[in-house]
Amino acid sequence: MQFISESIIDQKSEAIGEAENLNDYIQNLKAKQPALLAYLFSEGFDLLTQSEKEYTMFLALVIWESVHELHPDQELVDPTDIEKIEDQNWENLSDKKDQKFRDKLTVFFENTEQEDLLAFVEDALVQDEDDMISNDGREYVFIALKTIIDCLEEVAA
């Protein structure tokens, strides 16, 4: 997959952030990658608060729109691939149990060609004064978004 630069990510983040309603973006994702949208609404996300779900959706839409900008003609993501990729990502994270959040993520940066997308996710999830994501939700949301990046990387290649 072609490298998704920070400038594209920032452009998409700003456009989606300024949108009054995300429905058009959600419908675009539904039309082009229905398995990814279904994944975002799967029962695993029930452990998140409503605001965490909304923030996760926003971040996923930024990722999707950024990738779609450079790769408009993608194959469909297979739901079984989502599960396999997510399991692998959890396995990679579980090897780093006793480390701080940012330190746990190093392994993911070592094995990605989409460093700017991954940095966007990391930066969005580090603790700040807004605390959009709880400590409990932080790892779950990271793995979900990393899984989406990996799936899109496979079908856009």
Residue 21 in domain: yes
Is 70 exceeded by the pLDDT of residue 129? no
Q: Domain for residue 77, yes or no?
A: yes
Question: What's the predicted TM-score (pTM) here?
Answer: 0.94
Q: Determine, yes or no, domain membership for 19.
A: yes
Residue 20, domain member (yes or no): yes
For range 47-55, the mean pLDDT: 94
* pLDDT bracket for residue 127 (50, 70, 90): low
Residue 146: give the domain boundaries: 6-156
Report pLDDT for 70: 94
Asked if the structure places residue 123 within a domain, the reply is yes
State the total domains in the chain.
1
Question: What's the confidence (pLDDT) of residue 16?
Answer: 97
Q: Is residue 1 in a domain?
A: no
Sequential DSSP letters for the chain: -----HHHHHHHHHHHHH-S-SHHHHHHHHHH-HHHHHHHTSGGGGGS-HHHHHHHHHHHHHHHHHHHHH--S-PPPPHHHHHHHHHHHHHHHHTTTTS-HHHHTHHHHHT-S-HHHHHHHHHHHS--SS--S-HHHHHHHHHHHHHHHHHHHHHH-
Query: For 57-77, what is each residue's pLDDT tens digit?
Result: 999 999 999 999 999 999 999
pLDDT, tens digit, 9 for 90 and up, residues 72-121 = 999 999 999 999 999 999 998 887 676 788 888 888 998 889 999 999 99
The pLDDT tens digits of the residues spanning 3-49 come to 999 999 999 999 999 999 999 999 999 999 999 999 999 999 999 99
